[in-house]
Structure 1
Amino acid sequence: MKRLLHLLRNKYFVVSLAFLVWMVFFDKNDLFSQYQYHQQLSKLKHERDFYQKETAKATQDLDELTSNKEKLEKFAREKYLMKKANEDVFVIVKDKKAE
């Protein structure tokens, strides 16, 4: 008890304690804000990685489409339902309820 009373009379300890309490709870960059910033940063990093992978995939697809005429024709048939003049196209749509 005497030791605690002695610490509370020490002005350096009191000022340090007040500074620590201020930085942990009341400052603009308190611990709760730092935790939120960290969570937001990890979310943004995951999004960045996802979009980088999607961009690389789209670039690869574009390279394949520009270099290979057969791939371009297949892409046009599948995505835009294009057809040649003497062909018929049948589109099969699956029910979402069955899945």
Structure 2
Amino acid sequence: MIFIVWMFFFDGSSWLLHRELNQEIKKLEGNRDYFQNEISTDKEQIEQLQDSAGLERFAREEYLMKKDNEEIYIIEYQDSIIKNNNE
């Protein structure tokens, strides 16, 4: 009985150690899946940026760039405006 308790709790290859390691493996596999999804979306975005039209669209949306003869109007909705404490 002492041998079984020793092997179950105190040994270097105990059940508790294996349980902790299995939890760590599941966590790392979840991280791997997340990062693989991020890599695939980044690859899709890189492919879109290879085209000049896609690059122009990205620059217009993200950096608010414009052509010389254009005007840009930014529409802000009431719920997207950050309010100061003084107002």
Would you say same fold, with TM above 0.5? yes
Alignment of 1:39-50 (within 5 A): 39-50=23-34
The reply on whether 1:53 has 2:64 as its aligned counterpart is: no
Counterpart in the other structure of 2:84: none
In the aligned structure 1, how far is the partner of 2:17 from the partner of 2:80?
43
Scaled by the length of structure 2, the TM-score of the pair is 0.75
Scaled by the length of structure 1, the TM-score of the pair is 0.67
Alignment of 1:9-88 (within 5 A): 17-66=1-50, 68-88=51-71
Gaps of 5+ in 2: 82-87
- Considering only CA atoms, is the larger Rg found in Structure 1 or Structure 2? 1
Structure 2 counterpart SS, 1:88: coil
Report the residue type matching 2:61 in the other structure: E
Root-mean-square deviation (CA, aligned residues, Å) is: 2.0
Deviation, 1:52, is: 0.8
Identity %: 38
Report the residue type matching 1:90 in the other structure: Y
